[in-house]
Amino acid sequence: MEQELPINSSKKKLANITTYLNNNKKLLISLLSVFLILILSFFLFLEFKKKKRIEISDRFNKLIINYENTQNLPLIKKELIELVLSKDKTYAPLSLYFLIDNKLIKSRDKINELFDLLIKNNSLEKEVKNLIIYKKALYNSEFVSENILITQLNPLINSKSIWKSHALNLLGEYFYYKKEKKKSKEFFEQIVNLENANPEIKNEAKKRILRDFSE
């Protein structure tokens, strides 16, 4: 009799489970269906993103190849701007750099608008975004006041970014060009004392201090 108790208990549990499954069959099927749909949707989304990136890549490469062989520069410009607006983490920045390097956009306001669009793009990796911040400041360095330039570079200056030494070097060159040697030297000295400074920029800063700021 004592051995029958565990067996009866197991049978009762199995019966309870069977009853629960029968009573909630529709709910369980619905939950399983939703789960399968979510899994399928996830993989379809990944496939869609992959195809879209391939399309954007092909489109960018075709525009660059056709740039030298076309008279329709307004169309090239229009499509490159569309690629910037696509916010693709690779080809949106490359498209903007190409527009700037080839002077396809004359309006500084428009270029800064596109820079800001990329900087606000949360899908970009941190150091990619820092590079864009630096590029924007470099582009504007010939046109803006020192206060605006420093404000634009502050996110890099106050960080441990790999682009910090580039930002400090830009400010050093900016103030040297303006013949403000004291300010210029301060920025070059910061580069020399920076642990993760770009080696080439650091060596050049040392040379500049010895060559241009020696008493």
The candidate with the shortest Cα–Cα distance to 206, out of 165, 167, 177, 178, is 165
Q: Among the ranges 6-20, 37-51, 102-116, which has the highest mean pLDDT value? A: 102-116
| Gyration radius of the chain's alpha carbons | 30
Q: In the prediction, which pLDDT does 98 show? A: 95
pLDDT tops 60 at residue 45: no
Q: In the prediction, which pLDDT does 1 show? A: 45
Of 63-77, 97-111, 131-145, 171-185, which gets the smallest average pLDDT?
A: 63-77
Classify the C-alpha dihedral 115-121-124-130 as positive or negative. positive
Unique residue bearing structure tokens 């069959």? 25
pLDDT tops 70 at residue 35: no
Q: In the prediction, which pLDDT does 73 show? A: 86
What is the spatial distance between Cα 105 and Cα 81, in angstroms, rounded to a whole number?
10
Of 10-14, 115-119, 200-204, which gets the smallest average pLDDT?
A: 10-14
Which pLDDT band, with edges at 50, 70 and 90, does 28 fall under?
low
Q: In the prediction, which pLDDT does 198 show? A: 94
pLDDT tops 70 at residue 139: yes
Higher model confidence: residue 101 or residue 67? Answer: 101
Which pLDDT band, with edges at 50, 70 and 90, does 47 fall under?
low
91-112: average pLDDT:
94
Q: In the prediction, which pLDDT does 2 show? A: 47
Unique residue bearing structure tokens 């989304």? 45
pLDDT tops 70 at residue 135: yes
| Average pLDDT of the residues of the chain | 85
pTM for the whole structure: 0.75
The candidate with the shortest Cα–Cα distance to 104, out of 75, 133, 138, is 75
The domains of the chain are located at 65-124, 146-215
The candidate with the shortest Cα–Cα distance to 106, out of 130, 129, 74, 75, is 74
Beta strands in 48-158 (DSSP E): none
The candidate with the shortest Cα–Cα distance to 79, out of 54, 96, 101, 103, is 96
Unique residue bearing structure tokens 């309006």? 107
